[in-house]
Structure 1
Amino acid sequence: MKALVEHMVRALVDQPDFVQVEEVEEGQTLNLRLTVHPDDMGKVIGKQGRTVKAIRSVVYAAAPSQRIRLDIVD
């Protein structure tokens, strides 16, 4: 799952070297913490959150049987 998120986000941002995804399992939930360069934060979130919603939709569809949470960290 980590590789999928990294691949999608690196294609969106201007500084792909700063993209980091951390996986943390808490019970039955897989938390993905996404960190990007501050200048690229707007590109990842998108207008009214549309881009991040699309990323979340793809991630949720890739693992329908697992509970996943995607957070963008400052």
Structure 2
Amino acid sequence: MLKALLKFLTGGGESESSAAGSCCADKACSCKAGSGNPGSLRDLEGFVDYVVRLLVDYPDEVNIKSEENDEGCTIQITCRKEDIGKIVGKRGKTIMAIRSLVSGAAGRQRKRVSVEVLD
């Protein structure tokens, strides 16, 4: 999963198929990639899922959902209230880092993807 994202970020060719190493291979993402690498937004959703589950105390209660809107796609994270602070981090640095990686990878596909933590 991380190798696929790194390859995607550095432009090292097409990423591996999402069924091989993605956490959300069996989930249906409502956001679809228009042109280029199919499933790249699903890979981003899987990346967010992977990172968030490693950060929180209750990984089984993490839910990642993608939603299409006017400005692009939004990846929404829902979890327990006590785990929100772990995702956000001190002064929001952790969520800003996740958002930066996701928006950088999505920018390579000329897409706009945002990440939100829901209450």
Query: What TM-score, normalized to structure 1?
Result: 0.91
| Aligned-residue CA RMSD (Å) | 1.1
Aligned length: 74
CA distance in 1 between partners of 2:84 and 2:71 (Å): 28
1:49 aligned onto 2:76: no
Q: By how many angstroms is 1:23 displaced?
A: 0.6
Which structure has the greater CA radius of gyration? 2
Once residues 59 and 113 of structure 2 are traced to their aligned partners in structure 1, the CA distance between those partners, rounded to angstroms, is 23
Higher RCO, 1 vs 2 (CA within 8 Å, ≥6 residues apart): 1
**Contact 1:10–1:16 (CA<8 Å) still a contact in 2?**
yes
5+ residue gaps, structure 2: 1-43
Deviates most, 50-59 or 60-69: 60-69
Moved over 2 A (4+): none
TM-score by length of 2: 0.59
- Provide the C-alpha distance between the structure 1 equivalents of 2:71 and 2:91, rounded to a whole number of angstroms: 30
What are the superposed Cα offsets for residues 2-55 of structure 1, whole Å, 9 maximum, x if unpaired? 111100101111110111111111245001111111111110011100010011
Asked if residue 24 in structure 1 is aligned to residue 67 in structure 2, the reply is yes
1:10 match: secondary structure: helix
Structure with greater strand percent: 1
Q: Are 2:111 and 1:70 equivalent residues in the alignment?
A: no
Q: Give unmatched runs, 5+ long, in structure 1.
A: none
